[in-house]
Structure 1
Amino acid sequence: MSHDRRPDGPVPPPRGGEPLIPLRPFGTTKATVSALGLGGHHLGDVPSVEEAIRIVHAAIDGGITFFDNCWEYYNGRTENWLGRALTGKRDRVFLMTKVCTHGRGKDLARKMLDESLRRLGTDHLDLWQVHAVSYDNDPDLAYARGGVIEALEEAKKAGKTRFVGFTGHKDPAIHLKMLRLGYPFDSVQMPLNPFDAGFAPLSFEHRVLPELLKRGIAPLGMKAMGGTAAAIKRGVLTGEEALRYAMSLPVAVTICGMETMDVLKKNLKIAQGFQSLAAEAMDAIRKKCAALAADGRYEPYKVSLKYDNPETRQPHGFPVEPENKEMKEMFKEAGAKPK
């Protein structure tokens, strides 16, 4: 049985009376979101703001309502570009961005929220999430007096965001601790793909997804193709298999990076009129990936430092990774070379 359902709120213009992309419930709230969402980080890979605007407009016209972003992506550029693209279209989307305190307090979170709202050209978010909960002590820091959890609650009460949540791609145990400490999050974002399913110690599908469904929290999937699509480039499986697998899980939305119009069109072709795969087809994809999933080689964000944003590492006193995209851009802007 499909977990897609008809909308109960404003959506992009339908064709034939149905939404172009199925809309799904956002947890136990009355909100709905498109089954496919547009990722914020890849928007920073687009060559120009003009092309980014064209991609966003085509995504909205194609039925995507969920738009992901983050305060720290490309040092603020992706929020700025998305904000420009949403001029006159804000009421057609479910807008999410993330706060990047990474263990620091609510005063910084408030400042980041105001900056995000200004960049995005709006007076409120639909969803504000704690970004990249990655280290063992991150949950304790988030819940500490004066921590980011207090900022989430204040923003919600002030009407600056409708919903709140958290994200991470390192370790399911950290997600489970965030939940166990008790704050009533509306959503949780995590990597979900066929390789995650076969990476037993660090599988979000097997360890976190069932807990979210039990609690009525909206699961948000990301990294459907492993972040780099390396397995697809090497022929382990096709991009369509990976995306259909991720979208067939019981999630509110699968968030994908779409940095070119070609990639967007391919994903829209899969998402428009989407029907979830049968259990047998899901098992077949898992089995195809199982032999190469067990050591995390196709999920480098779990087992390497390369995808750790400098904002994540620096507050903990860890050295930054010079190959990170944001670090390269910072060095370029400063006219310096990575050490």
Structure 2
Amino acid sequence: MRESKLGDLHVSCLGLGCMGMSQSYGVTTDEAESIATLHAAIDAGCTFIDTADVYGDGANEELVGRALAGRRDQVVLATKFGFKKPANPHDPPTVVDGSPEYAQQALDASLRRLGVDHVDLWYLHRRDPNIPIEETVGAMASMVEAGKVRYLGLSEVNGDTVRAAHAVHPISAVQSEWSLWTRDPETVVLPTLRELGVGFVPFSPLGRGFLTGQLKSPDDFEPDDMRRGLPRFSGENFQRNLDLVEKVRSLAAAKGVTPGQLALAWLLAQGNDVAPIPGTKRRKYLTENLGAVDVELTTDELAALDEAFPPDAVSGQRYAQGGMDLVGK
């Protein structure tokens, strides 16, 4: 397993996103298999583990904590804060709170659920439009001084926000969606990160499963799967995007790898300041994902992927409008 560098933080070049073990992709959960997947990842050198306090309303952090019992020092552990349930049940189901008071409360709660005394990387999950980013990051920095956090990160922010935050305390990583079918960061935020020496952590590097080539219809999803409500997986967008993935399938077959491995290899080829965190709750998919580390792409192969999946090719927004209102802030 190679290393990636997120600021001064060294991590495995591929991480493991744990969200799907507890929410979003159907009601089917299997704690034993999820823990076995986490252990298999660590054994294989995939030691960059990503969770958040909002995943499963805290249940995901508890699951990760159980899995890491006795193995804490073998991993780089990342979690996030910022989303919370509103006090008023008539308000939207989640609100964003970046206040200094909530930051400290959220971190202490995360540490309890994880069963650890510190996290290695702590992200602001979304920027609170009502709180200056300098205030939020100042509060986060005080947690570094207290020894509860080693490095700070942001999620789904723009370049100006990164600059303002970085001026308060070094930001090690920005996490946002980046893959063959979400190319926005390449022009919007990545140049700023590289100027400042900040690493990038792509989530959903397999396009929420679309780039694996395994999805054929919206009917493949369980009734409560979040993808049913995402524009890219709905109506005519689904078929248009399926046509794009077919091109990736053809390129992968010519290379002798799976479409998912090709998509991950494309991201890994973008630089050693990039550490994708494909999510899975099953060992067999983990093994497939880790195979991408050994896939070397030539200049011609990278160009062919760019031609097959240009930045503006995907149909539909990443989220419904409410979700889009919280990104790129």
Q: In which range does the TM-score fall when normalised by the shorter chain?
A: 0.7 to 0.9
**CA-to-aligned-CA distance 1:257-290 (integer Å, 9 cap, x gap):** 112121111112222xx36533332221111112
1:263 to 279, 285, 302: 285
Distance 1:298 1:246 in 2: 22
**CA-to-aligned-CA distance 1:290-310 (integer Å, 9 cap, x gap):** 2xx526426623xx248689x
Distance 1:54 1:122 in 2: 20
Matching residue of 2:210 = 229
Contact 2:14 2:48 in 1 (8 A): yes
Matching residue of 1:111 = 105
2:276 to 233, 247, 254: 254
Cα distance, 1:55 vs. partner?
A: 0.7
CA RMSD of aligned residues (A): 2.5
Contact 1:196 1:205 in 2 (8 A): no
> Is 1:185 aligned with 2:159?
no
Matching residue of 2:318 = 300
SS at match of 2:281: coil
Matching residue of 1:13 = none
> Is 1:131 aligned with 2:153?
no
Matching residue of 1:240 = 261
Q: Which of the pair has the greater relative contact order for Cα pairs under 8 Å at 6+ separation?
A: 2
Tell me the TM-score normalized by structure 1: 0.72
Distance 2:316 2:68 in 1: 34
Letter of the structure 2 residue corresponding to residue 67 of structure 1: I
1:141 to 131, 139, 145: 131
Letter of the structure 2 residue corresponding to residue 285 of structure 1: L
Contact 1:195 1:286 in 2 (8 A): no
Matching residue of 2:90 = none
1:161 to 132, 149, 168: 149
Distance 1:298 1:263 in 2: 27
Contact 1:227 1:299 in 2 (8 A): no
Contact 1:191 1:221 in 2 (8 A): yes
Runs of at least 4 residues off by over 4 Å: 305-309
Q: Which runs of 5+ in 2 are unaligned?
A: 84-95, 216-241, 249-258
Q: Which moved more, 1:85-94 or 1:31-40?
A: 31-40
Contact 1:67 1:96 in 2 (8 A): yes
Contact 1:226 1:299 in 2 (8 A): no
2:19 to 41, 44, 60: 41
> Is 1:67 aligned with 2:49?
yes
> Is 1:24 aligned with 2:42?
no
Distance 2:192 2:284 in 1: 36
Distance 1:72 1:94 in 2: 19
Q: Which runs of 5+ in 1 are unaligned?
A: 1-20, 169-173, 198-202, 314-339
Cα distance, 1:218 vs. partner?
A: 1.6
Matching residue of 1:90 = 72
The alignment covers a number of residue pairs equal to: 267
Distance 2:173 2:297 in 1: 24
Distance 1:248 1:190 in 2: 17
2:188 to 207, 220, 228: 207
- Determine what percentage of the aligned residue pairs are the same residue: 29
Distance 1:242 1:298 in 2: 20
